[in-house]
Structure 1
Amino acid sequence: MLEKKMKMANLDAVTVKDGFWKNYMELVRCRMIPYEWEALNDRVEGAEPSYGMANFREAAAGGGTFRGRVFQDSDVYKWLEAVAYSLMWHPDAQMEATADEAIEIIAAAQQPDGYLDTYYILTGIEKRFTNVMDNHELYILGHMTEAAVAYYRATGKRKLLDTAIRYVDCADRNFGREEGKLRGYPGHEVAEMALVELYGVTGEERHLKLAQYFIDERGQKPLFFAEERERFHNEYKWKESYFQDQYYQAGKPVRDQERAEGHAVRAVYLYSGMAEVAAMTEDQELFAACERLWKSIVEKQMYLTGAIGSSEYGEAFTFDYDLPNDTLYAETCASIGLVFFARRMFEITRDGQYTDIMERCLYNSIISGMSLDGQKFFYVNPLEVQPEASRKDFYKRHVDVQRQKWFACACCPPNIARLLASLGGYMFEQSEDTVFVNLFAAAELRTGVGGHLSTLHLETEYPWDEDIRIRIENEQPTEFTVAVRIPAWCENWTASVNGSRCQETPEKGYLYLQRTWRTGDTIGIHLEMPVRCMAANPRVRDDVGKMAVMRGPLVYCLEEADNGDQLQELYLSEDAAFTLKREPEFLGGTVTIATEGWRLSENEWDEHTLYRTYRKPVYKKQTLKFIPYYAWANRSEGEMSVWVRVKQ
């Protein structure tokens, strides 16, 4: 059975208290959402203009000039989705009024038949659906639908939901296998999972069937994208590429795809939709494809940080074990999409391998995409940086060494905001009789699992501290199960209930504690968090002879500000001993790691000698200081490296 029998906790039932994720959620609510509204209205001095709201205003007024990228509408929708999630756990009348203002403008731009894409409304609506491959109409539909569902759930207001339904119905009239319809599907996926979300609200079979159609039709022969290119003389940017139509994951039917290929964000958005449809329709073959594609990513194409998409060309997957550290792309949105995929796979399987990857991405490759003040952003998340190379090497020009205020293509900032604003639902999921604790934070969950109201109080300073305490409070004794994730990175752990050691053993990474719980009952979890030196498969050419440092879920890195320049000269000892230091005022409050390492001496060389006969290298001792990877580039511009050479 593939049917999902669990769901995310309602965000209004989760209160995240002081601690790591509370800081980030408040950053989103208090800084990012207001800042992004200013950016969407082109009011951030020195930032790339968005034109997001300007295009909607022009379209609502009946005409004007479109500016920005063809998919610019989607940034506004992701912002609205972040607002919706924030309102669920922190009502804010002013924020809601601002969102309502935006929704009124959006709805006013909608065409009589439901179509709503400002690019074609302003540049020639007669050309709509003539370049579905590249011009993102169905991608915009997807983000609009996700925002509409979230805002309806947050406020009960139907304005945006009804607007989205009209656009979905417009797409349904235009796409499908019936005579007179286009046999097309999204060039940039996201509508697939959005339509399943809409089905969850409307119960309309046509919404689920449209999602199923988009997935089943993809890659079928004759290939729709090829026919569309020929009919409308559209540019084929990837004609000479190695991936061609697999850039869009459309080179073959999805059930025949064996490995993750093409544009990384599109891929994981598609796989998320495939998992949703597989669960809804009990499609075992489709789910088997999801499992294959998951393994292709995490076993052979994922960085230590959880980043994916190793090539700037096409923002794409390349080939197995091709994971360069300094020329990679590793778009923030791709890691967010991997989290979407992971959550859906977990909800089907209850397997901790998926929530482990979810945690890895959240603590590393996602929050690295924003500055600690929430107002500057990375699009690309490298594992090694040399500033001069980013300025002067054409093939590293995409690797920023400082976060930017905004981007002309600004998908990442609002994507971060909507994910972090909805984080409470990733922390806890629940079925009829079980609460799943996926992520650890100081938080409260109010739940009716077991038929009576209970509150789970989580107390922890994770990821800095090794202990998690879960205290139960309920109106009467209630039987249910608390399933606590035991991370795969943790080799030694203990669990207790009311001080007595638990005898249960984990199943697929979760410790299932079934009890009749009473007020005052307490679960204690201790996760040993030693510093771990990580190695990569030797087929990963860039990491041979190197180690990376992790503690708990966090990947660490060296930065020039702490260790000097020429980081390639630094070495870790094979038997390195590490010292931890809690630094509450440093980089937003963190634990740093230090060890005695080595620096390759330059004294044996003079500036006029480029090569010479090999002789045994000379090293000098140097203390190496590691900081969490997510916190790099929040001080002065400088070098950074995750992987460090090993001195034997």
Structure 2
Amino acid sequence: MHYASLSQQVKHFLTASCLLGAAGVAQAQAVADYPIRPVSFTQVKLTDNFWLPRLKTNTDVTIPASFQRCEATNRVKNFEMAAAKSGKFATTYPFDDTDIYKTIEGASYSLSLYPDEHLKEYVDALIKKVAAAQEPDGYLYTARTIDPAHPHSWAGKERWEKERELSHELYNSGHLYEAAVAHYQATGQKNLLNIALKNADLVCSVFGPGRRAVAPGHEIVEMGLVKLYRVTGQAKYLNTAKFFLDQRGQYKGYDFKSTDEWKNGQYWQDDKPVVAQTEAEGHAVRAEYLYSAMADVAALTGDKPLLAAVDTIWKNMVTKKMYVQGGTGAVGGGERFGANYELPNATAYNETCASVADVYWQQRMFQLHGDAKYADIMEKVLYNGLISGVGLDGKSFFYTNAMQIKGGLGTKDTEPARSGWFDCSCCPTNLARLFPSLPGYVYGQHDKDLYVNLFVSSTANLTVNKKPVQLVQQNNYPWDGGLKFVVNPAASTDFNLLVRVPGWARGEAMPSDLYTFATPTKSEVVIKVNGKPTAYTLRNGYAVLPRKWRKGDVVEMTLPMDVRRVVANPNVKDDLGKVALQRGPIMYCAEWTDNKGKASNLVVPPTATFTAAYRPELLNGVTTLTATVPAVQVDAAASTIQTVPQTLTAIPYYAWANRGKGEMTVWFPAQIVDVDLVTRPAELPGTGK
């Protein structure tokens, strides 16, 4: 679906959810919207062996740990002091309020999956503290309200004064709105929604044409306002979201000739109007929240230039600025996108929050265009660069996600380890809210088309072509390529089942030339209906299965699960002469503990043959890859270098750093063309050091 068809599609009216607003019931109304609607997380019940345990760990471990850490680090106390108008802001950053909002959001989704009266009571008590901290006109920002005469140094003397650069006042509001809508959808309660609407009414009265103007420094308020628009049908929320987008590139205080992104506005995507932006730029999390909001507003207003811009930016990121495991934001200074093809391994940043934001963006791009390439990217991020951000214990995290850890001097002191919390702890709480929302990313619908985007064992209760349909997925994905779908309509009904045929199963490592498979695939994707092979047409990466479906119809699809070598575009200098390993949607790495204490000495020549084996006892159950490869070895006297045959064991990238600190690599040299000499300080006599 392209620009010309969007304007036609947005004329199809979708009935807005009849949700409760602050004053009562908002009347259901017709609104322009995405051509494709997601199926709500409340309609999809998981039975999946891969995701369901993660969602359960998120409920049992991550969310309680997050709330406990919000208590222990005084994030909750900030709200209590704001209510009392007494004390001193007790944490580091003015956006620390959002860790509570995000955890409430995750807990809300979780309550829908796993009803828990104790958790519900705790969340309700926390919401009361949030309400008490809100000022009479709706303002909610503990970094100022605690002591208005002495606000946080980032906040400015007056409200909104430093919103462009530092204060994060609107960022806090955005996460409040997101949490409030999730809480209402999951529980039906208005308590948090009322707080959000009161704050949003203030924001809409302060900002807009003829009033205050600013491009929010850290985007997300735009996405949150759109969600409030969906809840209430009140146009002012959508209009204010669009107003914030339109303010970008309007500020006269930047030095646009400067190459310093802090001085020219690029850091927060404010150097050009959004419709003139062509590259993914600046702080990656802010950027991907912005691009998500651009997609929202384009869908809801039919704004073609806005749609064209977000499409162009998407293409730039996927063709020039994404790591092979789905990570984004290559440069640590500014947590930002680098230049085109700037994807270093040793210094890769890949903030976990950027992966969360990218999932939101890819889902919206799918809803705009109905193309499987967006779900392909979403799958890559979900199974690799996102879940690598949380340890298997559910309470240890990576803020950044490395691509290569090289021991060098043999010390592990400087090598990364997972942490339980951070001073800026946006990533753990972002994961807490994303995980339980996963059921909402599995399906999409448009008229008689039912899209299957993610292969997650589950039961979905849908309405297709105005008739009830139950769709059951049964699989052992991502370890096995055998997929089964059981279709159970209440009565025989015509509709099109569109099953995504992943790009990687069609010989496409990425929907661009940034990464490709070293050799063509020889396998074909076979689909059977009721046991009989079925010819199908491919539409935008989806196998289209039109049929008058009857109860008990079974669709089976078999995806090739060969081990594939991935090579990077030659412009990615760090990956020249190297290969990465992929099986199904999973990207692999070698970790020190499986490979004689090192990973940087392994070579993967074209002749190496890999064997895949599922190991239920390892890392909560993973499929490993093994092959005999040359390993560079230095003799005991440190005078001779040679290669020796060694078994390389590769594990899924997401599972690394769960067994201690040490070397890790995603990219392997295909041959030895040079040797990097590392010297070690001589041992001091008598010290053992």
Output the aligned Cα RMSD. Answer: 2.0
Quote the residue 1:462 is aligned against.
Answer: 477
Alignment of 1:226-625 (within 5 A): 240-241=260-261, 244-386=264-406, 401-491=416-506, 492-603=524-635, 607=638, 618-625=642-649
Of residues 72, 77, 82, the one that matches 1:54 is 77
Q: Cα offset for 1:242?
A: 7.3
Quote the residue 1:129 is aligned against.
Answer: 160
- Distance in 2 (CA, whole Å) between partners of 1:388 and 1:449 is 58
With 374-383 and 22-31 compared, the bigger mean Cα shift is at: 22-31
- Distance in 2 (CA, whole Å) between partners of 1:248 and 1:500 is 54
Q: Cα offset for 1:390?
A: 12
| Per-residue deviation, residues 381-432 of structure 1 (Å, max 9, x unmatched) | 0011135789899xxx7xx621101111111111112111100010122233
| Per-residue deviation, residues 407-466 of structure 1 (Å, max 9, x unmatched) | 111111111121111000101222332221111011111111122222111100000001
- Distance in 2 (CA, whole Å) between partners of 1:566 and 1:20 is 29
Quote the residue 1:230 is aligned against.
Answer: none
- Distance in 2 (CA, whole Å) between partners of 1:438 and 1:339 is 13
| Residues 1:641 and 2:665 aligned together | yes
Quote the residue 1:182 is aligned against.
Answer: 212
Q: Cα offset for 1:487?
A: 0.2
- Distance in 2 (CA, whole Å) between partners of 1:557 and 1:464 is 16
- Residue identity opposite 1:314 in structure 2: G
Quote the residue 1:167 is aligned against.
Answer: 199
- Distance in 1 (CA, whole Å) between partners of 2:556 and 2:121 is 43
| Residues 1:143 and 2:166 aligned together | no
| Per-residue deviation, residues 302-347 of structure 1 (Å, max 9, x unmatched) | 0001101111100011101111112121000001111111100100
| Per-residue deviation, residues 184-241 of structure 1 (Å, max 9, x unmatched) | 1210001111111110001000000000000011111535x789xxxxxxxxxx9955
- Distance in 2 (CA, whole Å) between partners of 1:37 and 1:259 is 37
Q: SS of 2:488's equivalent?
A: strand
**Structure-2 change in CA distance of 1:295 and 1:57 (3 Å):** same
- Distance in 1 (CA, whole Å) between partners of 2:435 and 2:619 is 19
- Distance in 2 (CA, whole Å) between partners of 1:414 and 1:359 is 21
With 478-487 and 463-472 compared, the bigger mean Cα shift is at: 478-487
1:56 touches 1:106 (CA, 8 Å); kept in 2?
yes
Between the aligned residues of both structures, percent identity stands at 40
| Per-residue deviation, residues 231-272 of structure 1 (Å, max 9, x unmatched) | xxxxxxx99557731001001111111111110000000000
| Per-residue deviation, residues 129-162 of structure 1 (Å, max 9, x unmatched) | 1100211000011000000111111112111111
Q: Cα offset for 1:375?
A: 0.8
- Residue identity opposite 1:59 in structure 2: A
2:278 touches 2:313 (CA, 8 Å); kept in 1?
yes
| Per-residue deviation, residues 281-314 of structure 1 (Å, max 9, x unmatched) | 0011000100111011111010001101111100
- Distance in 2 (CA, whole Å) between partners of 1:432 and 1:507 is 16
| Per-residue deviation, residues 97-155 of structure 1 (Å, max 9, x unmatched) | 11111100001111011100101112426522110021100001100000011111111
2:412 touches 2:661 (CA, 8 Å); kept in 1?
no
- Number of equivalences: 615
Quote the residue 1:216 is aligned against.
Answer: 246
1:495 touches 1:526 (CA, 8 Å); kept in 2?
yes
- Distance in 1 (CA, whole Å) between partners of 2:530 and 2:447 is 24
Whichever structure has more helix as a proportion of its residues is 1
Q: SS of 2:209's equivalent?
A: coil
- Residue identity opposite 2:158 in structure 1: K
TM-score by length of 2: 0.86
| Per-residue deviation, residues 74-102 of structure 1 (Å, max 9, x unmatched) | 11111111111112233222211111111
Q: SS of 2:106's equivalent?
A: helix
- Distance in 2 (CA, whole Å) between partners of 1:153 and 1:469 is 30
Quote the residue 1:234 is aligned against.
Answer: none
Q: Cα offset for 1:177?
A: 2.4
- Distance in 1 (CA, whole Å) between partners of 2:411 and 2:333 is 18
Q: Structure 2, unaligned stretches of length 5 or more? A: 11-33, 152-156, 507-523, 673-689
Q: SS of 2:197's equivalent?
A: helix
- Distance in 2 (CA, whole Å) between partners of 1:226 and 1:434 is 49
Quote the residue 2:184 is aligned against.
Answer: 152
Q: SS of 1:325's equivalent?
A: coil
**Structure-2 change in CA distance of 1:497 and 1:443 (3 Å):** same
With 129-138 and 560-569 compared, the bigger mean Cα shift is at: 560-569
- Distance in 1 (CA, whole Å) between partners of 2:42 and 2:160 is 39
Q: Cα offset for 1:565?
A: 3.5
Q: SS of 2:455's equivalent?
A: coil
- Residue identity opposite 2:310 in structure 1: C
